[in-house]
A and B are shown apart, each in its own frame.
Chain A
Amino acid sequence: MTDRKIPKSLAGPSRRAFMAGSAAMTASLFAPKALFAQDYPTAQINTTGLAVTDDTVTIGILHSVTGTMAISETGSVQAEKLAIEQINAQGGILGRKIEYIQEDGASDWPTFAEKARKLLVNDKVASVMGCWTSASRKAVLPVFEQNNGMLYYPTFYEGLEESPNVIYTGQEATQQIIAGLNWVNETKGAKSFYLLGSDYIWPRTSNKIARKHIENFMDGCEVVGEDYYPLGHTQFNSVINKIRLKKPDVIYAIVVGGSNVAFYKQLKAAGIDMTKEAPIVLTISVTEDEIRGIGGENMEGAYACMKYFQSLDNDNNIAFVKAFKDMWGEDIVIGDVTQAAYLGPWLWKAAVEKAGSFDIDKVREAQIGVELETAPEGYVKVHENHHLWSKTRVGRAKLDGQYEVVFETADLVEPNPFPEGYQ
């Protein structure tokens, strides 16, 4: 019925290697605090009947591992399992080991809602790490609000949402867009932009914000074209011709899924050499994960605007990448969303310990202002609008499929899911 697993029986490709890695990590980074279960009687820390016992607490993982979205969501599942394993290795939360129940949303939005209801109503999980597309988040939102659950949502998304029952560990649109546009304008002197996207809510909302920013806040800059193609579109020769005719300084591309591969392959075949920056290609939809499908040789020279790149050079990230590879294999790559998914369990742990309780209402209150010094992306902090303060970075794709970080904002960027002047 349910695939209830305790993380100890976790079927990672090289469990032994991982244990060694995580032990080293525990020693160096996450000095375990001595929190013992007997200091926190279950009756006190769980007054609403959640799945908390004297030595375990159960959470849910809700992603698609089958269907079209499995390609993207697999990384998030892996990151969340890694975080849970590491937290347990440190002694768990309030002295309780985390167990998880994993459900498959199967790339189908009604299934997501049904599974979310099952996790909250039948399993009484204390929190849920899950969802990837906005459509799946919108589908589970009423379930979480009605049953007062807590969802940690990892994906960068279009904003325009602030639910008391969701913590958004990815960037909302302005965090991802504005700093990147300013950067390309200031350092590359770009003045004209061609906006391109797949035809659904995220690219359209993001491009709307990009257009407003270019036209209203960047002096002398203009949008010379804006185009959308259906999801799964595979023929981009016409739009490449249009782009040639308009001669923009920047192609701002938010193409997703299988279309991504077709777009970059055809861009290269049409003789647009991205290493020569004429025009510059700037994207917010291609992480290291997607480059594997596109091919490094087709992506070399393009710029991506994200908050995390696997190549980030800091101690947190080096340890994270090592632990991730030890657990899931040497060949694996880690994209922006995977890192954001990894933050979910850690943020929840910090909030529970701050509140001294698993009760959803207390965790929600405690979550605001929680800081995480150990995030692979660096320091992050939860804003009162339930999004994260985080830096914006620009990376340049290399032949080997990794990004070289060429820019990062000096300070954390404030999340602003309802940006005024951009609607």
Chain B
Amino acid sequence: MFSDYSMSELGAIFAMQGFAGLILFSVFVLMALGLAIIFGQMGVINMAHGEFMILGAYVTYLTSNLFAAWLPGVFGMYFFVAMILAFIASGALGLFIEWAMIRHLYKRPLDTLLATWGLSLILQQVYRSVFGAREVGVSIPDWMMGSLPVTDMIEVPINGIFVMVLATGISLAVYYMMFRSSWGLQVRAISQNRVMADAVGINTAWTDRLTFGIGCGVAGVAGSAFTMIGSTGPTAGQLYIVDTFLVVVFGGAASLLGTIASAFSISQAQSIMEFFLSGSMAKVLTLLVVVGILMIRPQGLFTLKLRK
């Protein structure tokens, strides 16, 4: 199938395809980090994860409108403000939901699945009532659209670079919080042994709430970033939820490193197969491989070594 093309064309295509895989990897990491915190560390199956992301997207939409109306001079910079606001909005909603709903369900993990599923339906309808059933168009600053021509054949999309930088930054921030801050130490202590953590004086209730809030906040930032590459509508969150759980479960629920490794392997596999097969077939094959590996390793790629 490559005989029709010259070597330079092939080289360019492989370079661009590799880059497409890296963008997909960054997208997966952004999607999955928030859930990895919530599901991995707290064991809460948050089916409303996609809706927290879309809240971030809607906040971005509102911010862009505000800037366009009041501060058109610095419109190019609004995206950074929007991401911070998205983190705050989704995080605050997360804190509230944890207080109102999730904390009553820690002992019944399967019920959180139903409760958060219900929450996702409620949020979807709220978005629909507030913003309308139609998708909204988020205007992206000009400098973030378009591409950088590297050679005649190779063009690198700027929003792809932006997503990659953002994914790296947020991964580092989460890593730092998890493994270098006292909050991270408490979270990890609680996930290993809740009773003992309580006994040594860790405020488990507050730590849980903060963890859930931070997880949701990270989802909000992801949603904000995705306005560049995807749609913003009441049900757009549903587009991401399956891939997100796939990445987190495949990686090993309690391991952040596992999440990143699994995002990398799934994205590369899918991106390469999409190039050689049709899009639907690539998806089917990716899922088959993941199912096969999970049958052999039900705990996922990486696991924490725990004394049970």
Contact = CB atoms under 8 A, between A and B. Distances in A.
B122 to A, nearest CB: 12
A265 B137 contact: no
B140 to A, nearest CB: 8
Contacts of B233: 71, 258, 293
A234 B235 contact: no
Contacts of B23: 235, 237
Interface in B201-256: 226, 228-236, 238-240
A238 B280 contact: no
Contacts of B139: 295, 297
Given A199-B279, A295-B139, A258 B17 contact: no
A227 B19 CA distance: 21
Chain A contact surface mostly: helix
B271 interface: yes
B27 A265 contact: no
Contact of A269 (B138, B160, B279): B160
Interface string A218-252: 00000000111110111101111110110000000
Contacts of A326: none
Most buried by A among B19, B20, B229, B279: B279
Contacts of A66: 125, 128
B172 interface: no
Contacts of A239: 274, 279
Given A68-B235, A234-B229, A260-B231, A269 B133 contact: no
Contacts of B188: none
A268 B146 contact: yes
A265 B230 contact: yes
Nearest to B148: A271
Contact of A238 (B17, B160, B229, B230): B17
Contacts of A67: 235
Contact of A270 (B24, B157, B238, B283): B157
A166 B235 CA distance: 30
Contacts of A233: 239, 279, 283
Contact of B134 (A227, A230, A259, A292): A292
B73 interface: no
B135 A234 contact: no
A90 B116 CA distance: 51
Contacts of A227: 278-279
B229 A265 contact: yes
B16 A295 contact: no
A74 B234 CA distance: 14
Nearest to B231: A261
B147 A271 contact: yes
Interface string A64-100: 0111101100100000000000000000000000000
A68 B125 CA distance: 10
B160 to A, nearest CB: 7
Given A269-B145, A270-B147, A271-B157, A293 B279 contact: no
Given A229-B280, A233-B279, A271 B137 contact: no
Nearest to A67: B235
B196 interface: no
Contacts of B275: 238, 241-242
Contact of B279 (A70, A74, A229, A266): A229
Contacts of A241: 13, 16-17, 20, 275
A260 B230 CA distance: 8
B279 A71 contact: no
B84 interface: no
B20 A237 contact: yes
Nearest to A73: B133
B136 interface: yes
A259 to B, nearest CB: 8
Given A258-B236, A260-B231, A292 B137 contact: yes
B158 interface: yes
A294 interface: yes
B235 to A, nearest CB: 5
Contacts of B133: 65, 70-71, 74
Contact of A271 (B20, B155, B232): B155
Contacts of B24: 235, 237
Contacts of A242: 275
B229 A228 contact: no
A408 B128 CA distance: 37
A262 B163 CA distance: 14
Contacts of A294: 137
A103 interface: no
17 contacts: A71-B135, A74-B133, A234-B230, A235-B23, A235-B27, A237-B23, A237-B157, A239-B274, A241-B20, A241-B275, A245-B5, A265-B159, A293-B137, A293-B232, A295-B138, A295-B139, A297-B145
Interface of B: 5, 9, 13, 16-17, 19-20, 23-24, 27, 125, 128, 133-139, 145-147, 149, 153, 155, 157-160, 226, 228-236, 238-240, 270-271, 274-275, 278-280, 283
Question: 10 closest Cβ contacts across the A-B interface?
Answer: A293-B135, A261-B231, A237-B20, A229-B279, A271-B147, A238-B274, A70-B133, A269-B157, A271-B155, A258-B231
